[in-house]
C-alpha cells in the first residue's frame, strides 16, 4: 500500500489537511484514526431520544478570521448562534465574562460604565510582582471577585489553586464596561446546521481520501509506504513516551435527558462555588433543535481520561518542549494540532494553522 500522504488522526486538523491535499493537490491521502468515528472532539451524534449532543463536550464556532469562516462554510450551512454563559454565584445566575451587567446584578447596584471602573479599581489589591494566576486576579479584580468566580472554579478545573498556577493561565480578566453579555464577541459565530459530524463527513467526501478507523497507527504504519506523515496525535506517544507521559486534565461527562423542553435559561451555566461539576450545557439551546425533551451535560474535571487540556504549569510546558525538540529533527513528519503540539487551540485556530501548513506544503 502506498500513499503520498498519511495523516494520523481524524480531528479538525487532520481533516482540514486531508481535504486540502485531496482537492487542491489531487493527491491520495490515508487517514488513520484510533477512535471509531471521524471528527475528533467535535464529533456529535443523536442520543436515544433523538437529541443532537456533543459527545466530547460543547463546541461553538467563533472567529474573526474571514478566510477560515469562508472555508468552513464551504462544507455546511450555518446556524447563527451567540453563546451566552451564566455563572451561579450567591444563589443567582449572573453573566460571564464579567460585564457591567454582571457587577450590577451581583451587588444589586445600578452603576454606569465610569462608576464600574471606579468600583473595580477600589477593590484591586496592589501586588509588586505578578507571579501566579491568583496574583493576576487579585491585582485586577480584588478578593471578592477572585473567590466568587475564579479560586474555587480553578481548583475544580485544574485540581490545584490559582496560587500554584503560572500567571499565564489567567493572564487577563476581561472586564466589559458595557452590558454586552455574549461570551464571545467575534464577528463570525455559529454552529453547523446539521452538526459537526455532518460537516466533517462532507470535508472528507473526496475519492482521494481513504479512512482507517479503530486503528492505532503504530500497528500498521510499518506496512504503508508514504512520502509525508502528518501527525496530529499525542507528541509523547509518537516518541514512545521516552521522556515520560505528558500530563493532561480530563473530564468525566454525565449526560442526562429531562422530560421538559427547557432545563436552564441559557446554553451554558458555570458553577464556580457549588457542586462538583464545573458547568452544565443544554444542547438544544446551542443547536436550535425542537424537541419536547432536553439533554444536558454535566462536566466533572479529572485526571486519567481522554487528554483534553494540556496541563498549564512550567513543569509540563518544559517537558513538552523537550518533545518538540525531538519533533523538529524528524524528517518528512509534520506535527500538527493540539495533541501534537501540547497546546490548547480553539477550532478556528486549528483550521487556521492547518491552512497555513498546507500552503507551505504545496509551495
Confidence at residue 260, expressed as pLDDT on a 0 to 100 scale:
97
- How are the residues of the chain apportioned to helix, strand and coil, as percentages rounded to the nearest 5? 35, 25, 40
Average pLDDT per block of 10 residues along the chain, 363 residues long: 94 98 98 98 98 97 97 95 95 93 94 92 93 92 94 94 88 82 94 97 98 98 96 98 97 98 97 96 96 98 94 92 97 96 95 97 87
Active site residue 299: yes
279 is catalytic: yes
Is residue 344 part of the annotated active site? The answer reads: yes
Q: Which of 279, 338, 349, 352 is catalytic?
A: 279
Q: What is the 3-state secondary structure (H, E, C) of 192-255?
A: ECCCHHHHHHHHCCCCCEEEECCCCHHHHHHHCEEEEEEECCCHHHHCCCCCCCCCEEEEEEEE
216 is catalytic: no
CA 361 to chain CA centroid, Å, is 26
Q: How much is the pLDDT for 249?
A: 95
Enumerate residues 6+ apart whose C-beta is below 8 A from 248: 303, 306, 307, 308, 309, 310, 311
Beta bridge pairs of residue 231:
8, 335
pLDDT at 231: 98
CA pair distance 81, 61, nearest whole angstrom: 9
Predicted confidence at residue 177, as pLDDT, reads 86
| Count of other CB atoms within 10 angstroms of residue 46 | 13
Give the active site residue among 20, 167, 176, 270.
Answer: 176
pLDDT in tens, 39-65: 999 999 999 999 999 999 999 999 999
Q: What is the pLDDT of the chain when averaged over all its residues?
A: 95
Active site residue 167: no
Q: Would you state the pLDDT for residue 185? A: 93
Give catalytic status of residue 176 as yes or no: yes
pLDDT for 313 equals 87
pTM of the model: 0.94
CA distance 39 to 83: 22
Condensed to tens digits (0 to 9), the pLDDT of residues 176-230 reads: 889 899 999 999 999 999 999 999 999 999 999 999 999 999 999 999 999 999 9
Which value, to the nearest 10 degrees, does the dihedral of the CA atoms of residues 328, 330, 336, 338 take?
-70
β-strands 44-46, 52-54: how paired? antiparallel
Burial code (b: 16+ CB inside 10 Å, e: under 16) for 60-74 equals: bbbbebeebbebbee
Catalytic residue among 249, 270, 338, 352: 249
Q: Which of 135, 299, 348, 353 is catalytic?
A: 299
Name the burial class of residue 171, with classes exposed (0-12), middle (13-18) and buried (19+) by CB atoms within 10 angstroms of its CB: exposed
Domains annotated for the chain, with CATH where assigned, are: 2-81+186-246+310-362 (3.40.50.720), 102-164 (no CATH)
Q: Do the Cβ atoms of 282 and 272 come closer than 8 Å?
A: no
Amino acid at each position: 500500500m502506498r500513499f503520498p500522504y498519511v495523516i494520523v488522526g481524524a480531528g479538525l486538523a487532520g481533516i482540514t489537511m486531508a481535504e486540502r491535499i485531496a482537492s487542491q493537490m489531487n493527491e491520495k491521502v490515508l487517514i488513520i484514526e484510533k477512535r471509531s468515528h471521524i471528527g475528533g472532539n467535535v464529533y456529535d451524534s443523536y442520543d436515544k431520544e433523538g437529541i443532537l449532543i456533543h459527545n466530547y463536550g460543547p463546541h461553538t464556532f467563533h472567529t474573526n478570521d474571514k478566510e477560515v469562516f469562508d472555508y468552513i462554510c464551504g462544507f455546511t450551512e450555518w446556524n447563527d448562534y451567540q453563546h451566552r454563559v451564566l455563572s451561579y454565584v450567591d444563589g443567582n445566575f449572573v453573566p460571564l465574562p464579567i460585564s457591567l451587567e454582571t457587577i450590577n446584578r451581583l451587588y444589586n447596584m445600578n452603576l454606569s460604565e465610569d462608576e464600574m471602573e471606579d468600583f473595580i479599581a477600589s477593590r484591586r489589591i496592589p501586588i509588586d510582582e505578578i507571579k501566579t494566576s491568583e496574583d493576576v486576579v487579585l491585582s485586577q479584580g480584588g478578593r471578592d471577585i477572585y473567590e466568587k468566580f475564579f479560586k474555587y472554579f480553578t481548583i475544580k478545573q485544574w485540581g490545584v489553586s490559582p496560587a500554584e498556577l503560572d500567571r499565564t493561565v489567567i493572564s487577563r480578566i476581561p472586564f466589559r464596561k458595557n452590558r454586552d453579555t455574549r461570551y464571545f464577541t467575534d464577528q463570525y459565530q455559529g454552529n453547523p446546521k446539521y452538526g459537526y459530524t455532518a460537516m466533517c463527513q462532507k470535508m472528507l467526501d473526496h475519492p482521494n481520501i481513504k479512512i482507517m478507523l479503530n486503528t492505532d497507527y503504530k500497528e500498521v504504519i510499518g506496512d504503508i509506504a508514504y512520502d509525508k506523515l502528518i501527525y496530529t496525535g499525542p507528541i509523547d506517544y509518537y516518541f514512545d513516551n521516552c521522556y515520560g507521559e505528558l500530563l493532561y486534565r480530563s473530564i468525566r461527562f454525565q449526560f442526562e435527558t429531562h422530560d421538559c423542553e427547557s432545563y436552564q435559561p441559557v446554553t451554558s451555566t458555570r458553577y464556580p462555588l457549588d457542586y462538583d461539576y464545573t458547568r452544565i450545557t443544554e444542547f438544544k439551546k446551542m443547536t436550535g433543535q425542537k424537541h419536547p425533551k432536553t439533554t444536558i451535560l454535566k462536566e466533572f474535571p479529572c485526571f486519567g481520561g481522554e487528554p483534553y487540556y494540556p496541563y498549564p504549569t512550567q513543569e509540563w510546558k518544559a517537558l513538552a518542549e523537550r518533545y518538540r525538540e525531538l519533533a523538529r529533527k524528524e524528517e518528512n513528519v509534520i506535527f500538527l494540532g493540539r495533541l501534537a503540539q501540547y497546546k490548547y487551540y480553539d477550532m478556528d485556530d486549528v483550521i487556521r494553522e492547518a491552512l497555513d501548513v498546507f500552503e507551505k506544503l504545496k509551495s
